[in-house]
Amino acid sequence: MDFSFSDDQIMFQEAMRDFLANECPPEVVRAAWENDSGRTNGLWAALVEMGVVGMTAPESAGGLGMDETDLVLLLEEAGRAALPEPLLEHTAVGIPTLAAAGGPVAEAWLERAASGEAILGAGTDQGYAVGAATCDLVFLIGEQVRAVPVDEATLVEHRSVDGSRRLFEVDGEAVVIDTDPALAFDRAAAAAAAQCVGVAQYLLDATVEYVAQRYQFGKPVGSYQAVKHHLANAALKIEFARPAARHAAWCIAVGDPDRSRDVSLAKALASEAVDLASRTALQCHGAIGYTYEYDLHLWMKRGWALSAAWGDAAWHRNRIAVALGI
């Protein structure tokens, strides 16, 4: 039993954090809300350059041959920065699914995905594929995993509350991928859990900073116990969701037999953590947090979206019950 990350993993995380702090400030996220694609101008290429985009592809396909325990820390950072780029769909779901399936689809797409030239999307049969219009190949996960090339597909777009998330119904000629659909779904749910943890941590940190400098009755509002205890409760949820999310990543990496149950543990805890962090952040900011100009809502709305995506807390709690045989 060793729950420590290696020096290399920590260095990669720190590099990602520094990169996003410089290159993905709130103005960049806001711009993705307004533009045609919902994505950033140039960050994908920079993430390819850093090795992030193709990290889960085998070295033979031009990737870094890394697994979910390497990726999970970067997904937390992506959440912390509200990065509007498809790391979940492409790096956490698409590439490993292609790599494991092999065959002609992998032959056609894997190297191009590892280099970031082709972008992989993912969604569920009944749900939406985020950003499908900017993808080349979309995986639809249901009873089977089906791969739909986007240039031949019909896309119907819907708006998300998070302006950078463009939601698409995808219909088109599909190839059935030889893979376990539950595994593909779990990859997405575990990645969403890690991002929820990052979003929640940002919301907590931003709120702590705000209440320490906002004065009322001659004192920082953060000195009042009512405010402190709201924030302590959000911190508690995050403290206990983060290790569960990291454990879920490990379960996927090693093929643990309880993988689905423990991914559900992670996603349920992470959804609940980001939900509470959003509510707490808004309440402790007061009216300023309720404005469109102030940046807080970029994270709150990402949190709402990710909390619900790939199974909300109630859906995953139900799956745990089934796994426990009750």
Q: How far is the CB of 273 from other proteins (least distance, A)?
A: 10
Point out which residues pair with 145 in neighbouring strands.
141, 177
Nearer to other proteins, 22 or 225 (CB): 225
239 lines the binding site for other proteins (CB under 8 A):
yes
Strand ranges in 125-249 using DSSP code E only, listed in sequence order: 129-130, 137-141, 145-149, 154-159, 166-171, 175-177, 215-216, 219-220
- Does position 10 interact with other proteins (CB under 8 A)? The reply is no
C-beta of 225: minimal distance to other proteins in Å? Answer: 7
Report the relative pairing of strands 120-124 and 137-141 from DSSP bridges. Answer: parallel
Subset of residues 244 to 263 that bind other proteins, contact rule: CB under 8 A: 244, 246-247, 250-251, 254, 262
Check residue 42 for interaction with other proteins (CB under 8 A). Answer: no
Would you tell me how many other CB atoms lie within 10 Å of the CB of residue 321?
A: 12
As given in the structure block, the two tokens for residue 205 are 């940190």
Nearer to other proteins, 146 or 230 (CB): 230
Amino acid making up residue 42: G
**Binding of other proteins at residue 1 (CB under 8 A)?**
yes
Any idea which residue has 């619900």 for tokens? 308
Burial of 24 (0-12, 13-18, 19+ CB in 10 A): buried
Smallest distance, Å, CB 236 to other proteins? 6
Report how far residue 182's alpha carbon sits from residue 257's, in angstroms, rounded to the nearest whole number. Answer: 12
Query: Contact between 325 and other proteins (CB under 8 A)?
Result: yes
Q: Is 283 in the site for other proteins (CB under 8 A)?
A: no
Binding site for other proteins (CB under 8 A): 1-6, 9, 69, 204, 208, 211-212, 219-220, 222-223, 225, 227-229, 231-233, 235-236, 239-244, 246-247, 250-251, 254, 262, 265, 268-269, 314, 317-318, 320-321, 324-326
